[in-house]
């Protein structure tokens, strides 16, 4: 297993910072998902960990070994890691077994040991009976398993997954996510999983890092990202969050157009963002927010209403409701929960103050 530590890590392409002064620590044996919008720097960070890019500044340590720093650079093949690419990167002229054995040959493992380890890796991914086939004879999901078996065969301490499910349909993605969870449990290896899909990240990860513009906004467990986002970007990006401009009072109450609430968060007295997700609000006869239905759609058998609240800016809230209310209808919203973040330059409360108000 391998703990990952990055210290003041940067990667510049000319004037552009693909990775911008990132420091992080991922515990050994974690399943770490890197999540963020396109161009946020998550794949660049993965390539730095893999040794496919040299950092402009900073330090990377895998386990107790420094693999990149000023004057130090360990090549990818010497980092004891496996990597699974979005394209699978299988040799089309080789059998499944030969593809899985390729990394072992590069390590000069003898033939008898290679045969055993290839069989073990294929069994782990459920393809023990298909070692004789060529990649073109396999489904997309099976090719993905071959790529994973090839990474597992070298028994790495670290496995890097770069958008590995992007080419699979929805059903196969769910199947492979379950396989990733199982294999992670069985191997104990540290996994780093790059994805733009929040549902994928939340389904497998023990830790999630949210990136934006080359910077790391927050690392936390999936439920913490939902419940306690550290920045407005995370609040808006995770779980279809919406942020409304509000004012926090010194007594911890929040004034809303049609009532007051006491909510948790890091915002002290003054201007704040109120983060609300669909699970936080519901249509009710009375409530501290009143708004107009501006759109509706069907999601998972429920009507999802887009409601523009009065007096709280121009951001519409997504609100699940059993019935499809007509566009233009005025409704009140009950607020079950929410999270407060300070607006720029506003006061911040620490966790002790939050606990006292809870």
The pLDDT value recorded for residue 348 is 56
pLDDT tens digit string along 207-217?
Answer: 999 999 999 99
Strands across the sheet containing 264-265 = 259-262, 253-256, 242-248, 270-276, 339-342, 264-265
- Which range is least confidently modeled, 12-26, 238-252, 343-357? 343-357
pLDDT tens digit string along 300-354?
Answer: 778 999 999 999 999 999 999 988 899 999 999 999 999 999 987 555 555 434 4
Reference 152, options 93, 221, 80; nearest CA is 80
Greater model confidence, 319 or 174: 319
**CB contact at 8 A, 305 and 318:** yes
Range of 105-114, 150-159, 257-266, 276-285 with top mean pLDDT: 276-285
- Which range is least confidently modeled, 1-15, 35-49, 172-186, 262-276? 172-186
d(CA 319, CA 315): 13
Residue 224 pLDDT greater than 50, yes or no: yes
What's the mean pLDDT in 266-277?
91
Residues above pLDDT 90, as percent of the chain:
56
The pLDDT value recorded for residue 354 is 40
The pLDDT value recorded for residue 34 is 95
The pLDDT value recorded for residue 349 is 52
Residue 195 pLDDT greater than 50, yes or no: yes
Range of 108-122, 133-147, 274-288 with top mean pLDDT: 274-288
Confidence of residue 179 (pLDDT cuts 50, 70, 90): confident
The two structure tokens encoding residue 170: 């929805």
Q: Helix, strand, or coil here: 3?
A: coil
The pLDDT value recorded for residue 167 is 77
What is the DSSP track for 15-59? Answer: TEEEEEEEEEEE-TT-EEEEE-STTSSHHHHHHHHHTSS--SEEE
Residue 134 pLDDT greater than 80, yes or no: yes
Confidence of residue 75 (pLDDT cuts 50, 70, 90): very high
The residues spanned by each domain of the chain are: 4-221, 241-357
pLDDT tens digit string along 282-294?
Answer: 999 999 999 999 9
The pLDDT value recorded for residue 357 is 37
d(CA 201, CA 178): 12
Backbone angles phi, psi at 302, to 5 degrees: -110, 150
Give the long-range contacts of residues 48-51, CB within 8 A, separation 24 or more: 48/6, 48/9, 48/11, 48/19, 49/4, 49/81, 49/158, 49/160, 49/192, 50/76, 50/79, 50/81, 50/83, 50/160, 51/75, 51/76, 51/79
The two structure tokens encoding residue 82: 């496996």
For residue 58, the tally of other CB atoms under 10 A from its CB is 19
Confidence of residue 355 (pLDDT cuts 50, 70, 90): very low
Q: Helix, strand, or coil here: 235?
A: helix
The two structure tokens encoding residue 121: 């890796």
Pairing state of beta strands 339-342 and 215-220? Answer: unpaired
The two structure tokens encoding residue 320: 């699940």
- Residues 123, 129, 135, 137, Cα dihedral to 10°: -150
- What is the pTM for the complete model shown? 0.86
- CATH entry 3.40.50.300 includes domain 4-221: yes
d(CA 190, CA 81): 9
Residue 40 pLDDT greater than 90, yes or no: yes
Greater model confidence, 180 or 18: 18
What's the mean pLDDT in 126-155?
88
What's the mean pLDDT in 98-106?
86
d(CA 34, CA 11): 16
């Amino acid at each position: 297993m391998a703990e990952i530590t990055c210290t003041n890590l940067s990667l510049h392409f000319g004037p552009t910072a693909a990775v911008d002064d990132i420091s992080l620590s991922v515990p050994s044996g974690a399943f770490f998902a890197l999540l963020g919008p396109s161009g946020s720097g998550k794949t660049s960070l993965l390539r730095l960990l893999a040794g496919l890019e040299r950092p402009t500044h900073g330090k990377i340590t895998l386990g107790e070994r420094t693999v990149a720093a000023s004057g130090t650079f360990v090549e990818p093949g010497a980092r004891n890691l496996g990597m699974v690419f979005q394209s699978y990167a299988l040799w089309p002229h080789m059998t499944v077994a030969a593809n899985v054995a390729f990394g072992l040959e590069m390590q000069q493992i003898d033939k008898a040991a290679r045969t055993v380890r290839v069989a073990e890796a294929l069994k782990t991914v459920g393809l023990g009976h298909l070692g004789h086939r060529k990649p073109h004879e396999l489904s997309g999901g099976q090719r993905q398993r071959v790529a994973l078996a090839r990474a597992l065969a070298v028994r790495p301490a670290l496995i890097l997954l770069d958008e590995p499910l992007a080419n699979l349909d929805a059903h196969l993605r769910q199947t492979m996510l379950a396989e990733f969870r199982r294999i992670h449990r069985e191997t104990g290896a540290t996994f780093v999983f790059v994805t733009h899909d929040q549902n994928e990240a939340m389904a497998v990860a023990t830790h999630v890092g949210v990136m934006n513009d080359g910077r790391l906004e927050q690392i936390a467990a999936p439920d913490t990202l939902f419940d306690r986002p550290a920045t407005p970007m995370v609040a808006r990006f995770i779980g279809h969050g919406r942020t409304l401009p509000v004012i926090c009072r010194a007594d911890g109450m929040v004034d809303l157009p049609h009532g007051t609430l006491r909510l948790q968060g890091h915002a002290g007295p003054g201007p704040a963002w109120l983060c609300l997700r669909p699970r936080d609000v519901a249509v009710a006869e009375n409530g501290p927010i009143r708004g107009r239905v501006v759109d509706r759609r069907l999601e998972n058998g429920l009507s999802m209403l887009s409601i523009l609240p009065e007096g709280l800016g121009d951001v519409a809230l997504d609100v699940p409701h059993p019935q499809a209310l007509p566009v233009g209808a005025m409704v009140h919203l009950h607020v079950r929960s929410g999270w407060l973040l300070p607006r720029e330059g506003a006061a911040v409360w620490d966790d002790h103050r939050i606990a006292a108000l809870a």
